[in-house]
Structure 1
Amino acid sequence: MASQVYAGPYGTEPRHPGWPAKLGPLVVPAGTVRLRPVHLRDGREWSRIRVRDREYLERWEPTAAGSWSDRNGFGAWPPQWFSLRALARRGQCLPFAITVDGVFAGQITLGNVIRASLRSAWVGYWVSSELAGGGVATAAVALVTDHAFKAAGLHRLEATVRPENTPSLRVLGKAGYRQEGLFLRYLDVAGDWRDHIAFAVTAEEMGNGFAERLIAAGRARLPEPR
């Protein structure tokens, strides 16, 4: 069966360029960070972390129907995984699991992928509270950004963060994103319409790569040769 292709102003390319893929590694204080496609078998650890980290995560995530335990229990993962896989196969999403030393530690997603003359996506991520401050999220953002501009063929990435979310603001700044403005009452989070700071980066700003910038700044390194 022939693979699907997209024919647009930039020529003919695969329907979902850059997917699936495995990215990394980068070594940070918390351990060795890699990205890979999300798996159905991630459900148990995904649920364990998210149920445990409710207080840490819920205040930053969009308001949704149902209780936190219902939305993040083990049974909630299979439909989410099927949905993410379907979007990835249509080229609308690149959903990655973040692993640290080979263990599931969070997620990072390129979502709302639009091609044609826009070629953009948003970046969203979360990481286990046990790894907070260990450089994991910054490494994951750098890896997925490099991948977006290279293999995935995108031109612009955006991320929005509540002004109160200081750790995430630092992640995007260290990863090389720049602040573009403030979106007033942008998203319903924790039961109210919240302002968000808009960050973005384009392919022209890539230079030698965002992972390489982290290495040059001493925030990450490559593994030692075996």
Structure 2
Amino acid sequence: MRSVNIHIRDISVDDAAGLLQLQKENRDFFESYAPTRTDEFYTMEGQLKRIQKQAEDRKNDQAYNFGIFTNTDNILVGTVSLFQVMRGPLQSAYIGYDLDRKNNGRGYTTDAVRLVVDHGFNTLKLHRIEAGAMTHNIASIRVLEKAGFQKEGIARQNVHINGKWEDHQILAILNPCAP
């Protein structure tokens, strides 16, 4: 899946070194917006386990994880995921993403979110994709709004991040073609 500046694709074991480098270089930045990760996460073994788990989740229709790569040099600059896929009467999933700090502000995340939403609606036949962003993470909220998500409310003390429970702005997008 491709836009003008980036493309997204499944992450493979060949991407483990790049994924580890991305996570290590952005550890403090990512952990200021995401649940704290164990030290093992920041090892090659940890990233290989992560990639294996992602492959299992995809096979079981539970989650779809992609790397965000630049078109000019094919460098891994982030990740975007549809997770907690729920079938039956819900047909929904959550979306999450991270992008290398030095590549923020270039529209890469918005493009990646749009590509994944398109995949979720057209390929996976989801009805709804939901996101949560910490209420003070204006940049993330803006990414979602530019991709067509609409604010629905605040989930109070929703996720434990950096030792405290953080409120999250809940946003969602609905499949315009769903029956």
Q: Same fold (TM over 0.5)?
A: yes
Q: Distance in 1 between matches of 2:108 and 2:15?
A: 18
Residues of 1 paired with 2:107 and 2:42: CA distance? 25
CA distance in 2, matches of 1:50, 1:81: 13
> Where does residue 172 of structure 2 map in the other structure?
200
Is 2:30 the counterpart of 1:57? yes
- Please give the secondary structure, in 2, of the residue aligned with 1:188: strand
| Higher-Rg member (1/2) | 1
Which range moved further: 179-188 or 162-171? 162-171
Q: Once the two structures are superposed, what CA deviation does each residue of 1:85-132 show, in whole Å capped at 9, x if it has no partner?
A: 001001111111111122211111100111111100000000111210
Give the Cα separation in 1 of the matches to 2:97 and 2:127: 20
Distance (whole Å) between structure 2 residues aligned to residue 47 and residue 190 of structure 1:
21
Unaligned runs of 5+ in 1: 1-22, 207-226
Whole-Å Cα distance in 2 between the matches of residues 148 and 72 of structure 1?
Answer: 29
CA distance in 2, matches of 1:74, 1:151: 32
Note the residue ranges of structure 2 that are not aligned, 5 or more in a row.
none
- Contact 2:22–2:76, Cα closer than 8 Å, also in 1: no
Is 1:90 the equivalent of 2:47? no
**TM-score where L is the length of structure 1:** 0.75
The whole-number CA distance in structure 1 between the counterparts of 2:28 and 2:47 is 19
CA-CA distance at 1:74 after TM superposition: 2.1
Match of 2:11 in 1: 38
* 1:122 counterpart residue number: 94
Q: What fraction of aligned residue pairs are identical, expressed as a percent?
A: 28
Question: Paired residue for 1:132, among 104, 108, 115?
Answer: 104
CA distance in 2, matches of 1:40, 1:107: 15
Q: What is the deviation of 1:205?
A: 7.8
Q: Which of 132, 151, 171 is the matching residue for 1:179?
A: 151
State the secondary structure of the residue aligned to 1:171. helix
Separation in 2, partners of 1:74, 1:125: 21
Q: CA RMSD in A?
A: 1.4
Whether the aligned pair in 1 keeps the contact of 2:64 and 2:83 (CA below 8 Å) is yes
1:163 paired residue number: 135
2:28 maps to amino acid = E
2:70: which partner in 1?
Answer: 100
Out of 147, 150, 154, the residue aligned to residue 122 of structure 2 is 150
Alignment partners' CA distance in 1, 2:177 and 2:100: 29
1:115, 1:137 → 2: CA distance? Answer: 26
